[in-house]
């Protein structure tokens, strides 16, 4: 299987980020032929949007927060990893202990059922978290912990699935090979299904919680009845994962006719990343199709459902240097030029603080987003965060700034 500071004063900026509209792909028109679907691919206001298609309405329930190292959670993550390795070995031992091919198949089938039950529970956990965020009952920090839990559990399922795959290889009885082959197919799909929970953003947050100080702790989540999006930023990368529930039909279990058909759907819905592709991988397992496309902005990973013929998960890792931005606000205050460049709601935004006289960036200026998250500029005078909503406050504190400024930027649609 694939293993895939000065005398402190305050500068307040109220920024309206550009809004991407019409980005959610509905799954209601994909019942018949792939070539007869009527899926509209909206023209987005910025090139940035060309690398994604799944998005939540900007007015959805949303929250921002900060993560930090958490030894207790880090210990839990490590325990889950070790436990999965133990269970993988145990499954192989149970299969090997069977005296006949039928007994071995029965042991393998029982392990496959356990893994399927854990995957079902993973989907239930995700649905509950999505509902809680939508209802305003779960903040970004709590959701980030939940995303880390799902990421870790999915990795554990994959580890055990690989162990079961190895165990199936030990069943030699010729009379049982048809059953073994059926389980192999089921196992490959289960493995890919679990993998969809392990996005770039949840991976970075898990690393942060586990003690990696190089990973910033800024996170944002937005959710409504359609699904959710979850994002974080590092010093040079924007990472985001999104899930649209209606695009995932686990009951019908239809498949693409071929990988060529699935690739045609992907290229139709994501034309820019395929036209600009500098490398791509894809795989199909059962009702699921996966592709990863490297392009000038970074990497877009997408998972498609064979029943709806639509993407249900995206995971992005984009290089901030290459992502187009628009200046949202700027002001000269006490010898410093302060500006905010943005993309859109839920996308990356950057505050720049530069000394006018020298042109040098102001290091360690404090940037506070919506009175919720506090970050500092680096030696280049910049601090990157995620635009939390259509309007948000950015407070910049330096030694000399003593002016409050409110700026409103019209929403582009």
Which segment, 27-31, 117-121, 328-332, is predicted with the most confidence on average? 117-121
Beta-carbon contacts of residue 114 (< 8 Å; ≥ 6 apart): none
Do 171 and 260 lie in one domain? The reply is no
Looking at residue 1, its pLDDT comes to 62
- For the chain, what is the mean pLDDT? 81
11 located within any domain: no
Report the distance separating Cα 307 and Cα 247, nearest Å: 9
159 in the same domain as 119: yes
pLDDT band with cut points at 50, 70 and 90 for residue 264: very high
Same domain, 77 and 147: yes
CA-based angle 386:391:397, to the nearest 5?
65
334 confidence band (pLDDT: 50, 70, 90)? confident
Q: Which of 145, 163, 195 is the last residue in one of the domains?
A: 195
Does 54 fall in a domain?
yes
State the DSSP code for 326. Answer: E
**116 falls within a domain:** yes
| Sheet with 373-376, edge to edge strand ranges | 11-16, 391-397, 366-369, 373-376
What whole-number distance in Å separates Cα of residue 301 and Cα of residue 251? Answer: 24
Task: Give the mean model confidence (pLDDT) for residues 257-268.
Answer: 93
Report pLDDT digits (tens) over 148-197: 999 999 999 999 999 999 999 988 777 788 999 999 999 999 999 999 99
pLDDT at 15: 45
Q: What is the pLDDT of residue 410?
A: 37
Of 274, 300, 321, which residue constitutes the final position of a domain? 321
Q: Per-residue pLDDT for 39 more than 70?
A: no
Does residue 273 lie in a domain region?
A: yes
Helix, coil or strand: residue 11? strand
Residues 230 and 298 in one domain: yes
- Shared domain for 82 and 62, answered yes or no, is no
Q: In terms of residue numbers, what domain contains 191?
A: 71-195
Which residues, including other chains, have CB under 8 Å from residue 200's CB and lie 6 or more apart? 239, 240, 241, 301, 315, 316, 317
- The answer to whether 412 and 20 have CB atoms below 8 angstroms apart is no
Between 39 and 214, name the one with better pLDDT: 214
Domain end marker among 304, 321, 338 = 321
94: Cα within 13 Å, side-chain hemisphere: 16
In a domain? residue 168: yes
Q: 76 to each of 67, 142, 230, 397, how far by Cα in Å?
A: 16, 16, 22, 38
State the DSSP string of 205-272: HHHHHHT-TTS--EEEEEEETTEEEEEEE-SSEEEEEEEEGGG--TTT----S-HHHHHHHHHHH-HH
| Contact criterion met (CB below 8 Å) for 313 and 243 | yes
Q: Provide mean pLDDT across the span 365-378.
A: 84
* Residues 58 and 113 both lie in one domain: no
Token readout for 38 is 């009527």
User: Residue 405: pLDDT above 80?
Assistant: no
On whether the pTM is more than 0.75, the answer is: yes
Query: Quick one: average pLDDT of 108-134?
Result: 95
Mark whether 184 and 77 lie in a shared domain: yes
Q: 191 and 75: one domain?
A: yes
**Residues 45-52: what's their mean pLDDT?**
56
Whether the per-residue pLDDT at 377 is higher than 70: the answer is yes
Question: What Cα–Cα distance (Å) separates residue 108 from each residue in 83, 89, 167?
Answer: 18, 12, 7
Burial class from Cβ neighbours inside 10 Å (0-12, 13-18, 19+) for residue 137 reads: exposed
Please tell me whether residues 130 and 166 are part of one structural domain: yes
Domain count, the chain: 2
Residue 16 lies in a domain: no
Q: What pLDDT, on the 0 to 100 scale, is given for residue 240?
A: 93
Q: Check whether 53 has a pLDDT greater than 50.
A: yes
- Whether residue 58 is found in the same domain as residue 97: no
The pLDDT of residue 326: 80
Do 176 and 145 fall within a single domain?
yes
Is residue 50 domain-shared with residue 102, that is, in the same domain?
no
Q: State mean pLDDT over 224-244.
A: 90
Q: Is residue 166 part of a domain?
A: yes
What's 361's DSSP letter? B
8: Cβ contacts below 8 Å, ≥ 6 apart: 366, 397, 398, 399
| Domain assignment of residue 164, yes or no | yes
């Amino acid at each position: 299987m694939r293993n895939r500071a000065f005398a402190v004063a305050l500068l307040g900026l109220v920024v309206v980020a550009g809004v991407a509209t019409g980005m959610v792909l509905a799954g209601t028109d994909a019942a018949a032929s792939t070539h007869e679907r009527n899926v509209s691919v909206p023209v987005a206001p910025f090139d940035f949007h060309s690398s994604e298609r799944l998005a939540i309405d900007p007015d959805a329930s949303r929250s921002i927060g900060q993560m930090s190292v958490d030894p207790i959670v880090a210990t839990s993550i490590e325990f889950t990893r070790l436990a999965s390795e133990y269970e993988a070995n145990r499954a192989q031992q149970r299969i090997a202990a069977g005296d006949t091919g039928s007994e071995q198949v029965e042991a393998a089938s029982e392990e496959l059922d356990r893994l399927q039950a854990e995957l079902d529970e993973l989907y239930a956990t995700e649905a509950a978290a999505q509902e809680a965020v939508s209802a305003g009952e779960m903040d970004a920090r709590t959701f980030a912990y939940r995303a880390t839990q799902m990421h870790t559990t999915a990795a554990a399922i994959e580890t055990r699935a690989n162990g079961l795959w190895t165990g199936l290889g030990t069943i030699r009885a010729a009379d049982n090979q048809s059953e073994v082959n059926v389980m192999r197919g089921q196992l490959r799909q289960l493995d890919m299904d679990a993998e969809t929970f392990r996005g770039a953003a949840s991976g970075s947050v898990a690393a942060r919680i586990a003690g990696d100080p190089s990973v910033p702790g800024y996170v944002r989540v937005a959710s409504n009845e359609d699904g959710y999006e979850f994002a974080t930023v590092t010093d040079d990368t924007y990472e985001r994962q999104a899930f649209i529930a209606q695009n995932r039909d686990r009951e019908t279990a239809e498949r693409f006719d071929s990988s060529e058909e699935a690739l045609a759907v992907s290229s139709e819905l994501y034309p820019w990343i395929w036209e600009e592709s500098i490398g791509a991988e894809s795989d199909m397992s059962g009702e699921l199709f996966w592709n990863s496309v490297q392009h000038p902005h970074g990497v877009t990973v997408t998972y498609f459902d064979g029943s709806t013929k639509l993407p249900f998960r995206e995971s992005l890792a984009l290089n901030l240097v290459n992502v187009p931005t628009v200046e949202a606000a700027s002001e000269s205050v006490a010898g410093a030029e302060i500006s905010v460049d943005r993309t859109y709601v839920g996308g990356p935004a950057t505050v720049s603080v530069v000394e006018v006289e020298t042109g040098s960036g102001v290091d360690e200026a404090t940037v506070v987003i919506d009175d919720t998250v506090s970050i500092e500029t680096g030696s280049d005078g910049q601090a990157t965060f995620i635009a939390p909503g259509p309007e948000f406050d950015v407070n910049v504190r330096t030694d000399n700034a003593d002016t409050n400024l409110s700026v409103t930027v019209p929403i582009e649609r």
